Amino acid sequence: MKVTTPRLTQHVLTVEGRAGGEPVLFVHGNVSSGAFWRDTMAALPAGYRPLAVDLRGFGESDPAPVDATRGLRDYSDDVLELLDALGLDGVHLVGWSMGGGVVLQALRDRPAAVRSVTLVNPISPYGFGGTEGPDGRLTHPDGTGAGAGAANPDFVARLKAGDMSDESPTSPRSVLRSSYVKNPAVLTDEDFYVRSMLTTRVGDAHYPGDAAASDAWPGVAPGKQGVLNAIAPTHFRLDDLHEIAPRPPVLWIRGADDAIVSDTSLFDLAHLGALGVVPGSPGTPAQPMVTQTRAVLERYGRYREVVFADCGHSPHLEHPAEFQRLLADHLKDA
């Protein structure tokens, strides 16, 4: 269904015959859409109303530009307006990858509207790239190492061209197989997910955003527009979650072998520098993304962490039965 708010028109995926019950809003990650939640939504127990939103610039929602200087608030404000438009309160929020950051920002800004939170391999509360240590301190004041300049240009070009092939390791299909999951055999409907990835709007105002240069290694810094700049640590930081009230329960589910969100992420330029993939590294340490999330949630206090063995970036796709059981139990307990 389409829902128009003062900000934009958003596409929301629903499940036929499930218009009542406690609302559960699923928020997807970067280079995807609400379609990635299709099977999880269908498996949700009776008594819940599953909804999955396409964030701006993804899926069938309006391609409104992203003001990265607001961090993820363009997305989280859209989500909060969606809840208002649908008359929803006491919502269970489920966020995957970048969607985890969107969900946490919504929680930070309107905690009274949230009944529970489920984080699925979420980005760090200190953004993606450009920080060190569990406290998320900036490696350089300008956020060097983060932002749109960190994107692989061939992947961006193939995404823009709608490439459905697997002819290159940087095609969307190849990235889905190598990075979104650990074992691509779990993707029984691979074309479905590739088509979802290809709904991503590409450009300075969308993915990856406008690139900026830096005098420090590796030579890129966050710009002011678009997706990757919105998750840069100079724009997105959530180290005060423990100060909100009320504090609904948080379930944090992650794959042990995640290549994207990790203390040794293969998408972090600092870690790639340590591996020698990006030359000239002065010894900048990798961003400890998982450690940072744990530090913030430890201060928050009301959370549970569950790690799936033999699992990559997408526990809901890779181990669906166990994921669905944990989610159902968490919703019930909340």
Tokens matching residue 236: 């997105």
DSSP 67: B
Dihedral over Cα of 301, 307, 313, 316: its sign: negative
b vs e for 22-33, b when ≥16 Cβ sit within 10 Å of the residue's Cβ? bbbbbbbbbbbb
Tens of pLDDT, residue by residue over 284-334, are: 999 999 999 999 999 999 999 999 999 999 999 999 999 999 999 999 999
pLDDT in tens, 226-279: 999 999 999 999 999 999 999 999 999 999 999 999 999 999 999 999 999 999
For residues 38 and 26, give the distance between their C-alpha atoms in angstroms, rounded to a whole number. Answer: 10
In whole angstroms, how far apart are CA 122 and each of 89, 126, 142, 172, 299? Answer: 23, 11, 23, 20, 17
pLDDT of residue 183: 97
Of the candidates 133, 156, 126, the one whose C-alpha atom is nearest the C-alpha of residue 231 is 126
Residue 261 token pair: 């969100």
CA-based nearest residue to 24, from 33, 35, 13, 10: 13
3-state secondary structure of 96: strand
- Mean pLDDT throughout 210-221? 96
Contact (Cβ atoms closer than 8 angstroms) between residue 300 and residue 250: yes
Angle at 95 between CA 161 and CA 263, to 5 degrees: 85
Query: Which pLDDT value is given to residue 104?
Result: 98
Q: What is the mean pLDDT of the chain?
A: 97
| Residue 79: pLDDT band with limits 50, 70, 90 | very high
Give the per-residue pLDDT at 274. 95
State the pLDDT at residue 237. 97
- Whichever domain contains 327, its CATH number is 3.40.50.1820
Going by the DSSP 8-state scheme, the letter that residue 286 receives in this structure is: P
Whether the CB-CB separation of 331 and 199 falls below 8 Å is answered with no
Looking up tokens 């280079």, which residue turns up? Answer: 31
pLDDT reported for residue 190: 97
pLDDT of 299 reads 98
Domains in the chain: how many in total?
1
Domain that holds residue 68: 2-333
